[in-house]
Amino acid sequence: MMWRLNQFKDNTAVIIEYGEKIPYSALLHDSQKLAEKVKDRCLVFNLCSNEYGSLLGYVAFLNNRIVPVMLDAHLDRMLLNNLIESYKPDYLWLPARMKNEFGYSVAYESNGYALLKTPYEKVFPLYDELALLLTTSGSTGSPKLVRQSYQNIQANTKSIAQYLDLDETERPITTLPMSYTYGLSIINTHLYVGASMILTQKTLMQKEFWQQFRDYKATSFGGVPYIYEMLDKLRFFRMDLPSLRTMTQAGGKLSPELHRKFAEYAAETGRKFIVMYGQTEATARMAYLPPEYALAKVGSMGIAIPGGKFRLIDADGNEITEPEAVGELVYEGANVTLGYAESGGDLAKGDERNGVLITGDMARRDKDGFYYIVGRKKRFLKIFGSRVNLDETERLIKSGFGDMDAACAGKDDEMVVFITDKTKEKEVQNFLEEKLNLNRLAFRVKYIESIPKNESGKTLYAALEKFYD
């Protein structure tokens, strides 16, 4: 079993929005009941939201060798249908309010969630060590999933719990979806130590969130860069939050100004601010900046987590050892995932990475051994914490808008989409908001007469930069 819930049976596992406390013994009981309905190892889509039903499903599946694909319950329906078509899951586990939207029969209901039986029966064989599948965050409609093993999750969970020094007195409040690797790692690590999780669907911008934070005495939260921008906007530093101990940050590079502000706040108020770095491909976490260095090393994402190792390589794959030189970051550790799946047939695949992940991030290491991300090798942006592949987005637009040419470029937190049909600006904006499930403020759609290209027809992205503003 992934988690020994029995060991903590009298502890509170979950505090839900209106304050009810659910002990580990109930979580164990509820998850076992669900697992009995599924019977044996197969594929289930868990449509996640930050409520108890979603969590008990996750626990039931992982503890009983049932393989969940963790998806956002708000995922665009067409993209969800594509995933169902590609992977043919045996069941869907989803908020009961959605149970009639699929035409599948309801096999079981519990705590606001429903188990739907699809017409599929173990269509694709599952590799024996395969535990869990996650999207590479920020879905662009590609059916690509990251394959994580039981060992991956155990190794990463143990390492994170160790460097964050977690124990059963912790009470994180959710600020991220559990279908997102960072949100899920917070759940994994706190289940592992027997702590209590405050599950809320409210956002930072709602007074109910802060009410729950104070009433249920939250000790920590995690945030991607835009969450820290919001906290700054909300004048977080003036809020009275006596229970708060720790703030963690991941999901993209925080601006050095904000990093410094939060590190100073933490130093002044006796709290911890911990900048971290990771990818779904490494289960969740690869690096952290120990809180005692938060101010001394502003802008750094830290050092490898316990059990992990970094190196930098040049374009020929040779290791770079001198300080301050930029190279591609390579990580080694037991949390490096098995590989990707592009369709159901790939679920039988074994370990394709053997513990080595070439991250695609360009980094430098200072003389004290701390790492700094300086850029990216591949064409993607991190928008509001989600990875968005620019080439895939481009394909999505081209397939949605027929003859119109398009090019996607931009900087983090803002994609600039160039299109060659002036009348389609708003339509493209709406289309992307819908398909990528991201706020429309993430994209700026701009008309351009023609997309600059080289002789072989490849888009010259550098030539587009001057049109960003």
Partner 1 sequence: MTNLEKYINAFTTTFGIGESEVEGLEYQQIKAWDSIGHMSLVSAIEDAFGIMMDTDDIIDFSSFEKGKEILKKYDVEIESV
d(CA 278, CA 288): 9
Nearest approach in angstroms of CB 210 to partner 1 is 6
- Candidate residues 434, 444, 446, 461; the one interacting with partner 1 per rule CB under 8 A: 434
Q: Which stretch binds partner 1 (CB under 8 A): 223-231, 262-270, 284-292, 308-316?
A: 223-231
- Candidate residues 1, 348, 356, 441; the one interacting with partner 1 per rule CB under 8 A: 441
421 scored as a contact of partner 1 (CB under 8 A): no
Q: In what order do the strands lie in the sheet with 113-117?
A: 105-110, 113-117, 91-95, 43-48, 67-72, 130-135, 145-149, 339-341
Nearest approach in angstroms of CB 423 to partner 1 is 16
241 scored as a contact of partner 1 (CB under 8 A): no
d(CA 432, CA 394): 10
Nearest approach in angstroms of CB 460 to partner 1 is 29
325 scored as a contact of partner 1 (CB under 8 A): no
269 scored as a contact of partner 1 (CB under 8 A): no
- Candidate residues 81, 100, 105, 203; the one interacting with partner 1 per rule CB under 8 A: 203
Q: In what order do the strands lie in the sheet with 303-304?
A: 220-223, 246-249, 272-278, 285-288, 303-304
24 scored as a contact of partner 1 (CB under 8 A): no
Which pairing describes strands 246-249 and 272-278: parallel, antiparallel, or unpaired? Answer: parallel
Calculate ∠ Cα 279-155-271, nearest 5°: 70
Nearer to partner 1, 106 or 234 (CB): 234
Q: Which stretch binds partner 1 (CB under 8 A): 229-237, 259-267, 326-334, 386-394?
A: 229-237
d(CA 32, CA 370): 44
Q: Considering CB under 8 A, how many residues would be counted as binding partner 1?
A: 25
122: left (phi over 0), alpha (psi -120 to 50) or beta: left
422 scored as a contact of partner 1 (CB under 8 A): no
Instruction: Pull the structure tokens for residue 210.
Output: 């802060």
d(CA 222, CA 276): 10
Nearest approach in angstroms of CB 226 to partner 1 is 6
444 scored as a contact of partner 1 (CB under 8 A): no
Nearest approach in angstroms of CB 368 to partner 1 is 36
205 scored as a contact of partner 1 (CB under 8 A): yes
Nearest approach in angstroms of CB 233 to partner 1 is 6
235 scored as a contact of partner 1 (CB under 8 A): yes
296 scored as a contact of partner 1 (CB under 8 A): no
* Secondary structure (DSSP) of 343-405: SGGGGG---SSTTEEEEEEEEEE-TTS-EEEEEESSSEEEETTEEEEHHHHHHHHHHHSTT--
Up-side HSE of residue 52: CA atoms within 13 Å toward CB? 23
- Candidate residues 6, 100, 162, 206; the one interacting with partner 1 per rule CB under 8 A: 206
Q: Is the dihedral of CA 16, 20, 24, 29 positive or negative?
A: negative
230 scored as a contact of partner 1 (CB under 8 A): yes
- Candidate residues 33, 39, 309, 426; the one interacting with partner 1 per rule CB under 8 A: 426
Nearest approach in angstroms of CB 6 to partner 1 is 37
Q: Which residues of 163-194 are buried (b: 16+ CB within 10 A; e: fewer)?
A: bbebeeebbbbbbbbbbbbbbbbbbbbbbbbb
Please give the residue ranges that form the binding site for partner 1 (CB under 8 A).
203-207, 209-210, 226, 229-230, 233-235, 238-239, 384, 426, 429-430, 433-434, 439-442
